[in-house]
Structure 1
Amino acid sequence: MEFRHLGNSGLKVSEITYGNWLTHGSQVENEVAVQCVHAALEAGVTTFDTADVYANTVAEEVLGDALKGQRRESLEILTKVYFPTGPKGHNDTGLSRKHIMESINGSLRRLGTDYVDLYQAHRFDFATPLEETMQAFADVVRQGKALYIGVSEWNAEQIRAGHALAEELGIQLISNQPQYNMLWRVIEPEVIPASEELGVSQIVWSPIAQGVLTGKYLPGQPYPAGSRAAHEESAHFVEKYLNEEILTAVQRLRPIAEEHGLTLAQLAIAWVLSRPNVASALVGASRPEQIASNVAAAGVKLSEETMAAVDAVIGGLAQTDPSLTASPPERLA
C-alpha cells in the first residue's frame, strides 16, 4: 500500500479507501462486512469511508464494530452529513447548524470514536446559507470532533466559496469526493483545476463505474445474478453505463489490462490513481477476496502510452459535461 497527502494538508491517506456504501447494513450480512473490513486492514488499507445516510445510520455502526480493537491513531475514518436520516423529519436533513451538530454526535457514537479524521458535506445545500454551514463545521473542528473538512459532489464554484470561508474561519477544507472513472469525467474541465489551485484533492467514488469496468456486463447478455444492475435498489446507479456501445468498448480494454498483468477492475482503479489531483480511490466489497484484488492496483504506475490507449478505446463515450457535477437544486427531504 502507498499513501498520499490529502490536499495541501499533512494528513496522509491510503491510495485505496474502503467504502461501505450499498453494502454494510443492507446488501451484505454484518459478519461478512466485518470480514471485508478485516481483509482491507490486512491488505494495508488504513482509510475507511462511510456516511450517516448509508443504510440509515446502520453502516456506521457496522464499520465501528468492525474496527474495534484497532489502534485509532493508525486509521483515517471519514464520514458525511447531508442526506435525510432517522425518521427523516423536517430538520433531519441538509447542512443546517442543527443537523450538522446532531449528526456529528450520532456518527461518533455509532463509529465508536472520539473524532473523525475527515467530516464531509455529502452534497451542497442550497436551502442553508453557506456561512452557517461552514461556521458549524468550524465549531465541529474546534471541538475536536473532526480534524479536517471535506465536501462531496460540489462543483468548482461551490468548492471555491466553501474554501474561502474555511480559510476565513481558520479551518482546512482539503478534499472533494466525486464520482470519477474512465467513463464519467465531468470533474476534469472545472473541478480539477479549481481544486489544484486551492490545495484540495479528490477521493473518488465509483472508480470501476459501479462494476461496469470489471467487464462482467457483456453486450447482449443478461445481467449477472447478484450484480448491481440486477438489484432493484441499486440498478439506477449503473443504468447510464449499460448500453451496447459502452459495454463493447469495455471489452476492448481487456488486452490493455492483460498486457500489464491486471484485471479490468485493477486497470480502472490504477487509471484514476494515475490522474492528476486524485489522492485515493474508494472501493467497496461484498466478499473479502474482492479487497485483495482491488488493492493490487495500489502503486501501479500507468505510462502516458497506456493512458492514451485507454482514451483511444473509450473515445467520446466518456461523459465530460461539467454541469453534471452538481448537487441537487433543492434540499432532499
Structure 2
Amino acid sequence: MDLTTTAYGTWSGGRFMHFGETLSEERYMECIRTAYEAGFRTFVTSDVYGNGKADELLGEALVGIDRDSYCLVGTLGHDFYQGQRQGNRGYPRFTDPELRGPEGYKAYLRMACEKSLERCRTNHFDLVMLHNPDEAGYTSPAVWEGMNALKEEGLSDRLGIAPGPANGFTLDVIHCLENFGDLIDWAMLILNPLEPWPVGLALPACEKHGVKVLTRVVDFGGLFFGDMKPGHEFKPGDHRAYRPEGWVEHGLEKIEKMKPIAERHGLSMVEFAAIWNLSQKPVECVVPTFIQEAGDDARPIEDRIREFAVMPDVRLSPEEVEEVKAIGDNTGCMMLKGASKRHEVSERPDEWPMREDLLELAGRYGLGEEW
C-alpha cells in the first residue's frame, strides 16, 4: 500500500516531543484509533521516539485492525541501542565512526528495522526512511546498499529519506537523489505556506528523479489550526517557545492575507495549508503535528485530528500557489542545516562544510552559490 494523501505521525500528542500538553499513554493510543476511524490510512513512526515506545504504542493502538487497510512508514537512523545520548543533540546517527564503519551499516539497518517492526506488531513496512542522516547518510554507497537490502529482504516495500531535524539540507538532498535516486521512492520534507523556502528549491529535483514528497510541519507549529492568538503563552519547555520572539503574531498577519484564497475554495486554514502543499508537484502526502494546546479553553486534539483526516478534493491554481508563496516568503530567515560555507569542519551530525560538488550542483539547478 502506498502513502495516502494525509498521514498521522507518532510525534503528535506531546509524549516524545515537547509541545502542548503531554497526553497519557491511553489517550495517545486513543488518538491513533481516532485517526483511523476518521479516515487516516497512513501512519508514520520513528524507532528513536521514546527509544521504541512510539512504535510500541502505535502497534498496540492498531491491534485488531486489518494490516492491509493502512500504510505503515518507519524511520531509522539514530542508534539508541549502542550510542549514548548527547544532551539536546539526541542519540548519534548509526553512521558515527565511533560506533561502526561502513562495513557495519547493513547489519545495523537490518537489526533496527526488524526490532521496529516487532514493536509495531507487523512483518513489513510499506516505506522505511533514512531518518535525520548525517553527511555519510547522504553520500555513502554503503548506507544505501544497506537500505536497499531492507527492500530486497522484504522488510519494506519502498525506501525514502527524511532530512532533519531542522530545516535545510537542500543541496544534500539533491546530491543524494542524483546518486541514489533509483533507490529512493519518497522524501519527507518541511513545507507549508509560511515556509516555502528552502524546500521549494528541492521539489524540481524530486520530480526529476521520480521521488514523491511527504511534507511535514504543514500546520507551522499549530498556527494554521486557528487556535493560537497574538500573545499566546506556551508551557515551560514547549519547544515552540524557542522560536524567534513574535513568530506567532508575524505568522498570523501573513495568514490573514491568505484567507481570501482559502475562502474562495471553502477551506479552513489548516485545509488550505495542506492543499497548498498538495497543489505542488511532486507533493502527494501531508502530515501535520497534532498538539493538545494548554488551557481550559483549548480545543481537544481529537477535534483537530477529525478535521484534518480527509482533505477536500481541490487544488490551487499555479497562480494561487505563487501568490501564497509571495505572501509567506521566508527566504533567508534562518540558518540552514547541512552543507554550509559557515563550517570548516563538521562539529555536529547535522552540519558540515560546503563541498565543491555541491556548489557545482547548485549552479546546474540555478540555485546560486550563497549557501
Alignment TM-score, normalising by the size of structure 2: 0.73
Residue 108 of structure 1: aligned partner:
117
Q: How far apart are 1:323 and its partner, in Å? A: 8.3
1:187 is matched with 199
Number of the residue aligned with 1:281: 286
Q: Deviations over 1:26-51 (max 9, x none)?
A: 42222222222222222322111010
Residues 134-153 of structure 1: matches in 2 within 5 Å? Answer: 134-153=144-163
For residues 327 and 81 of structure 1, the distance between their equivalents in structure 2, rounded to whole angstroms, comes to 21
CA distance in 1, matches of 2:281, 2:246: 24
Q: Separation in 2 of the partners of 1:138 and 1:241?
A: 44
Q: Is residue 52–residue 79 contact of structure 1 (8 Å, CA) maintained in 2?
A: yes
* Matching residue of 1:164: 179
| Aligned residue among 243, 252, 255 for 2:257 | 252
Asked whether the 8 Å contact 2:181–2:211 carries over to 1, the reply is no
Residues 126-135 or 274-283, more deviating: 126-135
Structure ranking higher on relative contact order (CA contacts 8 Å, 6+ apart): 1
Q: Take 1:288 and 1:102, find their aligned partners in 2: how far apart are those partners?
A: 35
The 5-angstrom pairing of residues 119-130 of structure 1 reads: 119-127=128-136, 130=140
Take 2:339 and 2:121, find their aligned partners in 1: how far apart are those partners?
A: 30
Distance 2:320 2:149 in 1: 46
* Alpha-carbon distance between aligned partners in 1 of 2:246 and 2:281, rounded to the nearest angstrom: 24
Partner of 2:74, secondary structure, is strand
The 8 Å contact of residues 25 and 62 in structure 1, kept in 2 or not, is answered as no
> Aligned AA for 2:144?
M
Checking the alignment, whether the CA contact within 8 Å between 2:117 and 2:125 is kept in structure 1 is yes
Task: Answer with 72-81 or 37-46: which moved more.
Answer: 37-46
- 1:292 maps onto 2:306 in alignment: yes
Q: Which residue of 1 aligns with 2:9?
A: 19
Task: Note the alpha carbon deviations across 1:198-218, whole angstroms, 9 max, x for none.
Answer: 100110100011112334333
Question: Which amino acid in the other structure matches residue 178 of structure 1?
Answer: L
Q: Distance in 2 between matches of 1:321 and 1:103?
A: 36
CA contact (8 A) 2:2 2:126 kept: no
In structure 2, what is the Cα distance between the partners aligned to 1:280 and 1:294?
12
1:200 aligns with 2:195: no
Compute the RMSD of aligned alpha carbons: 3.0
Structure 1 residue 103: Cα displacement: 1.3
1:177 is paired with a residue whose SS is strand
1:308–1:147 Cα change, 3 Å: closer
In structure 2, how many angstroms separate the alpha carbons of the residues matched to 1:159 and 1:116? 25
Q: Are 2:328 and 1:310 equivalent residues in the alignment? A: no
1:242 is matched with 247
Q: Percent identity?
A: 22
> What CA deviation, in whole Å up to 9, does each residue of 1:299-319 have, x standing for no partner?
2322345435534543x4x23
Aligned-pair distance for 1:58? 1.0
Report how far residue 132 of structure 1 moved: 1.5
Of residues 258, 271, 274 in structure 2, which corresponds to 1:269?
Answer: 274
Aligned counterpart for 2:60 among listed residues 34, 57, 65: 65
Give the alignment's TM-score, normalised by structure 1.
0.81
Any stretches of 5+ residues in structure 2 without a counterpart?
Answer: 17-21, 86-90, 96-104, 164-168, 293-300, 341-345, 351-371
